[in-house]
Amino acid sequence: DNLRPGHVIIDQDINPYVDQWEAEGIFPAHKVFKLLGNAGFLGVNKPVEYGGLGLDFSYSIAVSEELGNIRCGGIPMAIGVQTDMATPALARFGSTELKKEFLLPSIMGDKVACLGVSEVGAGSDVATIKTNAVREGDEYVVNGGKMWTTNGTQADWMCLLANTSDSPSHKNKSLICLPMNSPGVHIARKIDNMGMRSSDTAEVFFDDVRMPCKNLIGQEGMGFTYQMLQFQEERLWACSNILTMMDNIIQETIQYTRQRKIFKMPVLYHQSVHFRLAELETEIELLRSLLHRSTALYIKCNDVTKLASMAKLKAGRLSREVGDSCLQYWGGMGFTSNVLVSRFYRDARLLSIGGGADEVMLSIICKYMDTLPKK
């Protein structure tokens, strides 16, 4: 059972249930993650001593591409949080004890992770978060709240970004492993999102939650820096995942428009349709080249912040174009909720918002181009 290929797990254990999980607004994360963990897909680029495969990040990108064959955006996103958003900093900077307690079971699929960064008043502007972790003896006392927490209602632990001092906003934050069953952790509500319906997204509050100081990842005050490093992997991962989805949307649109006739010939044979699909396919291939180039540089320890931000920006914008154009060619069928193209249209809209909005990607690119106004 351990050696089942990814496409078999997707075809047999995930896709047949996607419609049901989308309707229910949640999927059984522990069950799905255990299947993926058994097959080795939750830690391909994580250390072997904690259950990972010890491969480089390009293999994580390959897994992300394969997960794009899941017929919704919510489940791949939830898996991506586990593999490339909540765990990279822990794997790189966490203590042995912390990695045994949180990383190993997350790679095995026994524990579900979530990431606590965004808040009601602080999304893309990470520096302005208000959640505090105040040191008292050998404990932190955590107060505040997190918003739009993917996997939030099912997670066993959170990789929490909190303020641990009164230093400047880029130097006062720390990442802490926080078990979600700790006294004082309250799941306020499951958020009703426009898309990503099968992913449970929660608002979480912390009321005097006590955490041992040993749950700190790496050094105190380095949380913002660690989180920015985690974001690079997250952005490349999201880009690779959506590329496969866009490939599939184009292919299904070709199949549908080839058999659907209008004015006595297939929709596909109208030049405006097949030319537009050719344009979109060209853009997809250009984005794929940028992703692969960025990944190749990243695994050789280069700073790919600029390229990763460009890839994330383009992925968000292109997926909106693909969704909109293809939905148009499905006509009335495209406006129904039981076809993949309409689900993609809703789900893909998040990519220009989550993980740093388009405008933040543009600001980062401008920073590297040295074109931002001087303060």
**How far is it, in rounded angstroms, from Cα 206 to Cα 141?**
9
Q: How confident is the model at residue 332 (pLDDT cuts 50, 70, 90)?
A: very high
Q: What angle do the packed helices 223-259 and 340-347 form, to 10 degrees?
A: 150
Name the token pair of 175.
Answer: 């990442």
* DSSP strands (E only) in the chain: 113-116, 132-136, 139-150, 157-163, 173-179, 185-190, 201-212, 261-262, 265-266
Over range 232-253, report the average pLDDT: 97
pLDDT digits (tens, 9 = 90+) for 295-304: 999 999 999 9
Over range 328-340, report the average pLDDT: 95
Indicate whether 85 pLDDT > 70.
Answer: yes
pLDDT digits (tens, 9 = 90+) for 169-211: 899 999 999 999 999 999 999 999 999 999 999 999 999 999 9
Any idea what the Cα angle at residue 231 is, between residues 121 and 298, rounded to 5°?
165
Over range 62-85, report the average pLDDT: 97
pLDDT of residue 1: 47
What is the set of active-site residues?
A: 234
pLDDT of residue 3: 60
pLDDT digits (tens, 9 = 90+) for 42-69: 999 999 999 999 999 999 999 999 999 9
Report the candidate in 259, 227, 214, 245 with the shortest Cα–Cα distance to residue 323: 245
| Cβ-contact 342, 336 below 8 angstroms | yes
pLDDT digits (tens, 9 = 90+) for 90-139: 999 999 999 999 999 999 999 999 999 999 988 888 889 999 999 999 99
Instruction: Report pTM.
Output: 0.95
